[in-house]
Amino acid sequence: MQSSDQTIFALSSGRAPSAIAILRVSGPQARMAVERLCGKLPSPRFARFTTLRDLDGSAIDESVTLWFPGPHSATGEDVAEFHVHGGRAVIAAMFDALGAIDGLRPAEPGEFTRRAFENGKLDLTEAEGLDDLIHADTDRQRRQALRHLKGLLGAKAETWRQQIIEASALIEAGIDFSDEGDVSEELIAPALKKIAALKSEIEETLYLSAQSERLREGLTVAIAGPPNAGKSTLLNRLARREAAIVSPHAGTTRDVIEVHLDLDGYPVTVIDTAGVRETHDPVEQEGVRRARDRARTSDLVLWLVDASDRGATLPENEDDHAPVWIVRNKVDLAGDGNANAARAQFDISASRGDGVSELMAALVSYAQDYFGSGEMALVSRARHRTLLRETVEALDRAGRSADKGDELLAEELRIAIHSLGRLTGRVDVEDILDVIFREFCIGK
């Protein structure tokens, strides 16, 4: 990230062409940018309809312009927004006009949100929630991200942090008045009680949030099996579109094809893999290798077999794979079944749709168990979990070091306070800020 003393601008709406495009400017030169393009500064937080002109006085477009003087703005700086028509030529002309003003430069990914964070408009967990909200594909992901954007985890972490600070103050007072008889013990006892309660509360939060990180990433389901079992047909049926090429010729699917689905609000990625068989074709061999790798790393495998094929192969080394559901396909064409029928969990016809609704219902039920109560949990990232675990470990060590000296106890509490400070971005997080904010879209 470059210096926050500079003024940045970017397109903050969707890609062109669109009905309306919003260009945002933030920084000390935002006021000058508005005056240069509009001729007059609008009243704060009131929309003004005007014709925008470049530095040569040529008209660019008609605009609704908004002015938000800092610190009462999204970033805490002076902010301006230009709502113009969303044609590519209009946007390009706006970029040229803004770029020609001294002190203005295009924004980097996440720079608006980073400035909001640095100016105290939101903490780091809220910034991460905004990123999750931007990338949410399903309603359940949206609701979880919105909880973080509202600062629920950050507020909880700050409450814990303040309580540990209070306990630490009691310990420090005990150290300062250690020569006053039993004063030290009177102070340490309530501090240890508070530490034990906090440790239990944070541990419970971690336990309830054990599956919440999964909701961000989604569930991966691999459709695997021998060639011509109907894997691509099933993928198209689940996706409700022609996502994969369907052919009666074995080996049609050579690479992994992914389709992202919304199953009752749960994010699910369904993968169509190459038919697993022995082959001398080097391209198909690579496809089979990838198919086996993806099946091994998936969260669930639908092993598809032809219901009319009595010699249909079953997955090998099942202990090395994710849970495997045996699915007999083409039941509309099958006779009396096959030798593997006893192991089948689902009988379907991917081409006609027979039994597919039951398979979908089972996938939704599996997703519910897989994600658990993650939607309502506070913790959604590995970073959150790591820092809260560090806090719990420090509190645990603090409780066990009570008889080893107040100084050791106080030091463990300082470690716990520091870990919670890193969670919200209050202390020592410069090393992770670039990693977090570069994942944002430009203009956010």
Closest CA to 295 of 226, 366, 210, 372: 226
Range of the domain at 150: 127-214+381-425
CA distance 327 to 224: 10
- 321 a known binding residue? no
360 and 261 within one domain: yes
Say if residue 308 is in the same domain as residue 359.
yes
Residue 249 annotated as binding site: yes
Does the annotation place 340 within a ligand binding site? no
pLDDT for position 174: 60
Q: Output DSSP code: residue 344.
A: -
> In what order do the strands lie in the sheet containing 48-53?
48-53, 59-68, 79-86, 18-26, 7-11, 104-106
Q: Is residue 436 part of a domain?
A: no
Q: Is 150 annotated as ligand-binding?
A: no
The pTM of this model reads 0.70
- Annotated ligand binding at 367? The verdict is no
Residue pLDDT, tens place only, 391-409: 999 999 988 887 777 788 8
pLDDT tens digit sequence for 40-67: 899 999 999 999 999 889 999 999 999 9
Backbone phi, then psi, for 411, in 5-degree steps?
-65, -40
444 annotated as a binding-site residue: yes
Is 212 annotated as a binding-site member?
no
Q: In the structure, what pLDDT confidence band is assigned to residue 340 with cuts at 50, 70 and 90?
A: very low
* CATH for 284: 3.40.50.300
The H or E element spanning position 85 is strand 79-86
Percent of the residues in the chain that have a pLDDT greater than 90, as a whole number: 30
Give the residue-averaged pLDDT of 123-145.
Answer: 86
Q: How many domains does the chain have?
A: 3
Res 29: pLDDT: 95
Query: Is residue 419 one of the residues assigned to a domain?
Result: yes
pLDDT computed for residue 95 by the predictor:
95
Nearest to 82 by CA among 70, 102, 65, 98: 65
How far apart, in Å, are the Cα atoms of 97 and each of 33, 58, 186? Answer: 9, 10, 68
Question: How far is the C-alpha of 389 from the C-alpha of 431, rounded, in Å?
Answer: 20
CATH number for position 75: 3.30.1360.120
- Amino acid 270 reads V
The answer to whether 404 is annotated as binding is no
